[in-house]
Structure 1
């Protein structure tokens, strides 16, 4: 045991020493030295560690040492030279995540396009607006932010497809923190756009908001590619990546589509839970699995069922769902299906149902082009004990427009 402890202590010392050497190299680069001049020293610093370890070290330099993103990016160019190839060539092209259509490959394609949008297009138009608040410059910023709202699809796939599998393996911290940052980015984009549309032109504040968006989006790209994606690739099974790939179309993509259809070497996995055969005997009838499935999916409402232990067990999936659901939420706690800042509302509602304080709760909101009624019902067993919660969602806009009577078929 003492030998293991001593080895760990030595690893910490080695890592600390390497970080110090890397910081000195960054300072030299900042002072104007060329890649060639620092290449040998870099090689001495990293020794035989892997590219993944270098990425971890770079992140540590940013978080613990306060080194700027730009400087760390310059360091990336050095280890690209050391390994004699591009960043892409450092990684094994035969790895699944390098193959077109793999969820990570698609996430990274999107990140390249998102990075281009914020650090070139939005950055350029922000600089022009700061100098001249003309209608043309304002319109360009509004258009940029309107397009950037599409980042919600990238973040939603991450939150609703990738996070549930990580949580299954007990990885909760990074997912909760990252989801919270995603929400701040979404809110900042909406706020800045609204201020520009409404003409609330405090130039300094708007420029600060835009620079905040650019910075946070860029930081999120770095966190995804150097922390989240490597951790996910080490954790998830091929079956789980297949499920993520199969369900990604439900949510959609940001600025880039999958470059192909990912076909793992092992074929035949379709993720189906059942074949549709067999009967379910109910108190008032008998249905096949297919009959029950078809019936539920043709209801003009969305239904989600949460069991007594707060796990999502079922949702209907008709052609026009109001709120997207993906199969990965099945078996996930309902609290982890909501942004962290709204989890307390979910808990309060469930506590009221479990205690018997309430049997139902209604909400109604404007959502895109719909007026949505969201109803929650406490489900009880035959003895009156709490057995779960039913969520019932419906677009009531068309119903509100009904007048008079209709007694004959159209």
Structure 2
């Protein structure tokens, strides 16, 4: 580390400027310094670190440096090694919320135990068997394991769509910017492993490399969640917020196991705001708020509205949504509702709408068993001012299957 940190910086390590000391340690890691020397400096001048410091510093450093996704992944691994055993724990006191069956964190941890069991007692064993003999039987066992591991997408999706939005409300953006990227790396490599195994042609080395990576990184993500993310959330979220997260988790689903029970905190149930019976007068009619919501929810499409500041303000809630939405996205920046690798597409589209270059944009994709038509419309007022963006999503498989005619009387 001496070749990276000059004399002035060495003096800073001996100062009380904790933030600068941490920044120098991060920069030394980024610049390829000797890990053992950096770890010694960390232990000597920092010692313990809080979850907030890790999140805020990681986010600030990554934004300032503008490093690549690949570098983010490398640094994340090194940071976690650096912080092992150094994260400050809260003083014990009573039964912790995550110990209550049905609490979202209790469920997340149950899923992590199920994932560890899958990785350690099945996948690792089957991988060793495959390493010894890449027979069709051993390939098939690994495919079965991978099919189970694909369920981790639900675990990550709940984290990204329920935990991250509330952290952002408290000004904590590190997990959204950094952890979501790693989640996507893991998802992609699980799918890649399945592809290699499903069309296996004897490339044992490629299979072993990707499977080893998947096992290692899934374990590492469990560590990050349980030593940083979950405690950070528990330190900030109110009980009402945890109740909302628990109630909306069913919308996305669970990974390998279900919640132990329905969580009922030891207090009165939440008072849900009833929909007002007031009326809204429009140019072409008058509807009550109740009628309006029911009308929108009965449309055979999903609609989402994003305001002029890119904040999600509304989404319809029909019986069969195509893409999962939770109420936690309301009031959230639309950029933070998408995986980091696709944010640039969203920003380009919104920029075109705001500048008037475009008024609409269409996409169509295969999604699970559906053929999905996604349309975006710039919403403008009577004088052309940009008010927001309407997203319109529809399963068009039934429409594509239409043939001939069906008249109303038939």
Q: TM-score per shorter chain, which class?
A: 0.7 to 0.9
Q: How far off is 1:280 after superposition?
A: 1.6
> Residue deviations 1:206-264, cap 9 Å, x none?
11100000000000000000000111111111111111011011111001111122222
Secondary structure (helix, strand or coil) at the match of 1:303 reads strand
Structure 1 65/113 Cα, relative in aligned 2: closer, same or farther at 3 Å? Answer: closer
CA contact (8 A) 1:306 1:314 kept: yes
Q: How far off is 1:181 after superposition?
A: 0.4
Is 1:262 the counterpart of 2:263 in the alignment? yes
Runs of 4+ in 1 over 4 A off after TM superposition: 5-9, 49-53, 64-69, 90-93
Name 2:215's counterpart in structure 1: 214
CA distance in 1, matches of 2:292, 2:83: 56
Is 1:406 the counterpart of 2:406 in the alignment? yes
Secondary structure (helix, strand or coil) at the match of 2:254 reads coil
Across the aligned residues of Structure 1 and Structure 2, the Cα RMSD in angstroms comes to: 3.5
CA distance in 2, matches of 1:303, 1:152: 24
Q: How far off is 1:91 after superposition?
A: 5.1
Structure 1 219/64 Cα, relative in aligned 2: closer, same or farther at 3 Å? Answer: closer
Secondary structure (helix, strand or coil) at the match of 2:375 reads strand
Q: How far off is 1:68 after superposition?
A: 11
CA contact (8 A) 1:195 1:201 kept: no
Structure of larger gyration radius: 1
> Residue deviations 1:27-60, cap 9 Å, x none?
xxxxxxxxxxxxxxxxxx9xxx99989xx9xxx9
What does residue range 174-193 of structure 1 map to in structure 2 within 5 Å? 174-193=175-194
Is 1:368 the counterpart of 2:368 in the alignment? yes
Secondary structure (helix, strand or coil) at the match of 1:407 reads coil
CA contact (8 A) 1:93 1:99 kept: no
> Residue deviations 1:177-196, cap 9 Å, x none?
00000011001011110111
Secondary structure (helix, strand or coil) at the match of 2:120 reads helix
Is 1:347 the counterpart of 2:341 in the alignment? no
Q: How far off is 1:119 after superposition?
A: 2.1
What does residue range 58-69 of structure 1 map to in structure 2 within 5 Å? 63=78, 66=81
CA distance in 1, matches of 2:205, 2:278: 66
Secondary structure (helix, strand or coil) at the match of 1:377 reads strand
Secondary structure (helix, strand or coil) at the match of 2:374 reads strand
CA contact (8 A) 2:176 2:336 kept: no
Q: How far off is 1:201 after superposition?
A: 3.5
Q: How far off is 1:170 after superposition?
A: 1.0
CA distance in 1, matches of 2:83, 2:201: 32
Structure 1 120/93 Cα, relative in aligned 2: closer, same or farther at 3 Å? Answer: farther
Q: How far off is 1:383 after superposition?
A: 1.2
CA distance in 2, matches of 1:93, 1:129: 47
CA contact (8 A) 2:123 2:142 kept: yes
Q: Unpaired runs of 5+ in structure 2?
A: 1-13, 26-35, 37-42, 55-74
Structure 1 359/128 Cα, relative in aligned 2: closer, same or farther at 3 Å? Answer: same
Name 1:322's counterpart in structure 2: 322
CA distance in 1, matches of 2:310, 2:83: 42
Structure 1 200/386 Cα, relative in aligned 2: closer, same or farther at 3 Å? Answer: farther
What does residue range 1-400 of structure 1 map to in structure 2 within 5 Å? 63=78, 66=81, 92=93, 94-270=95-271, 272-400=272-400
> TM-score by structure 1 length?
0.79
CA distance in 2, matches of 1:192, 1:141: 9
CA contact (8 A) 1:302 1:392 kept: yes
CA distance in 2, matches of 1:143, 1:182: 21
Structure 1 211/68 Cα, relative in aligned 2: closer, same or farther at 3 Å? Answer: farther
Q: How far off is 1:92 after superposition?
A: 4.7
CA contact (8 A) 2:80 2:224 kept: no
> Residue deviations 1:298-350, cap 9 Å, x none?
11100000011100001011111000100000000110000011100000000
354-363 or 260-269, larger mean C-alpha shift? 260-269
Q: How far off is 1:199 after superposition?
A: 2.3
Secondary structure (helix, strand or coil) at the match of 2:407 reads coil
